[in-house]
Amino acid sequence: MAKKKFLKTVAALGAIGVASKIAYDKYKEVSARFEQEENDSISDEVRKYNAIFGNKVVEVNDEVFTGCEVKAIASNVVIDLGLAIFEKDVYIDFSSKCSNVTIVIPEGVNTACDVENHASRVNNLIENVEEDGIHTVYVIGTAVCSNIEIVPVNFYVDDDDDYEDIDSDEGLPENESGEPVSDDNSESADEADNDDAQEDLAAASENDDLEKMDDPDAEEDLCKLDGTEELTVEEVSK
């Protein structure tokens, strides 16, 4: 009985090993084919951009964009056309499986989508305008368990950039030289002022006591308050 379980375990581990080897060989084959397609399309009017189990960012800066083909398998792909130049209507043909594909469109360019959707989300955030001379990017393709987003340029810029930086020293008290003083310094200065005030109060109280001791009238009043009378030297001698 134990021998049968052992043989079954060995057979299962062997099957897993064989399946892993087949999957890895398939990954290398597809990866090599994707890379070859990209290299062969460098001089083509319509470039090809492929990704498998990875991240890929394509930026078209100050160049005429004439369209492209995208293949993504379990990857994150960004096609950034924010600084691209458009001279005509173009097409982006894509195939996405278990991937995130983001297409960034510049201002003054319209978009139109025709996506075959299979358990995927397609979100086109471009607001088209009806003006003469406006070119259109046609996004067509197939999405399987994927997330497809078409967004305007600067869509993901932090809102904090829209506000001016606030001076960190603004609103802080200033010292005699006009320099801002931090809260910690202000608290220290307040404590020092309180210590000085207490010392002045103690000194004033001590001076008052000394003046009362030198004042005979004050001494006489003090004796009366205590219920005793001041004795003269003669009375003391008696």
In this model, does residue 12 exceed pLDDT 90?
no
Domain segments of the chain: what residues?
Answer: 14-154, 183-233
Q: What's the token pair of residue 218?
A: 């004050």
Q: What is the pLDDT of residue 179?
A: 59
Per-residue CA distances from 29 to 21, 26, 49, 51, 181 (Å): 12, 5, 17, 13, 66
Q: What is the pLDDT of residue 23?
A: 81
Q: Give whichever of 4-18, 106-120, 161-175 has the largest mean pLDDT.
A: 106-120
CA distance 163 to 11: 65
Number of H helices, E strands in the chain: 4, 10
Percent of the chain whose pLDDT exceeds 90: 50
Q: Which residue has the higher pLDDT, 64 or 183?
A: 64
DSSP state of 42: T
In this model, does residue 232 exceed pLDDT 50?
no
Strands (E), 156-207: none
Burial 43-58 (b: 16+ CB within 10 A, else e): eeeebbbbbbeeebeb
DSSP state of 44: S
| Average pLDDT of the residues in 45-72 | 95
| Average pLDDT of the residues in 178-189 | 55
Q: Which of 5-19, 162-176, 190-204 has the lowest mean pLDDT?
A: 162-176
The single-letter code of the amino acid at 79 is I
| Under 8 Å between Cβ of 31 and 54 | no
